[in-house]
Structure 1
Amino acid sequence: MDRAIVKKHLEQAREHVAMGGQHVARQREIVAELTNRGADVTEAIRLLTNFEESQDMHVAHLERLKAELLECDEKQQAGGSEDSSAP
């Protein structure tokens, strides 16, 4: 993939990870609030689990993109890239 495109996707992935982290943290707060009130937390925990699984996927995608950018940079250093912009 073109280095510029990888950088764009990497920035989007970083945003997804940041937002996902916020969603997970807030849902954990909601579960705790409901638990303290003695409310049924079944659905809140189900949603938290979904958020955590999505976050794991976002983080894995971010790591793949970081590796891909590193690969692009290595190719560039070897003289095999047209894009010479800095990371």
Structure 2
Amino acid sequence: MNLSQAEVRDQDSINALSSDINKHLKRKVGYALNFAMLNKDYEIAPFILLKEGYEANPVYLDSAYNMMPKNSEQSLWKTTV
């Protein structure tokens, strides 16, 4: 095996890892959005969305924020973030 074959194999490994990381990030953001939407009445939902779903499309973040009750805006977590 020469050097170029090793480089191609290494690049294939890098591409596979990159694909796996992207899938993981999409899944993580999806779970955070889903949790926030289903548990919008709890004060932890906006925190989870900020902590785990910050990479989501701003349109999704905005719609999730607008679904939250207004009392969560004055909760303790907002003053600490």
Extract unaligned runs of 5+ from structure 1.
Answer: 54-87
TM-score by length of 2: 0.52
1:16 to partner: Cα distance: 0.9
Question: Which aligned segments of 4 or more residues in structure 1 are displaced greater than 3 angstroms?
Answer: none
- RMSD, matched Cα: 2.0
Aligned to 1:39: 42
Could you give the per-residue CA deviations for residues 50-81 of structure 1, whole angstroms, max 9, x where no partner exists? Answer: xx27xxxxxxxxxxxxxxxxxxxxxxxxxxxx
1:42 to partner: Cα distance: 2.9
What CA distance in whole angstroms lies between the structure 2 residues aligned with 1:46 and 1:24?
Answer: 10
Could you give the per-residue CA deviations for residues 20-43 of structure 1, whole angstroms, max 9, x where no partner exists? Answer: 1111111110010121xx111231
What CA distance in whole angstroms lies between the structure 1 residues aligned with 2:13 and 2:19?
Answer: 10
Asked if 1:22 is matched to 2:27, the reply is yes
Aligned length: 49
Identity %, equivalent residues: 4
Q: What is the identity, as a one-letter code, of the residue corresponding to 1:31?
A: A
- Return the structure number with greater relative CO, CA threshold 8 A, min gap 6: 1
Aligned to 1:11: 16
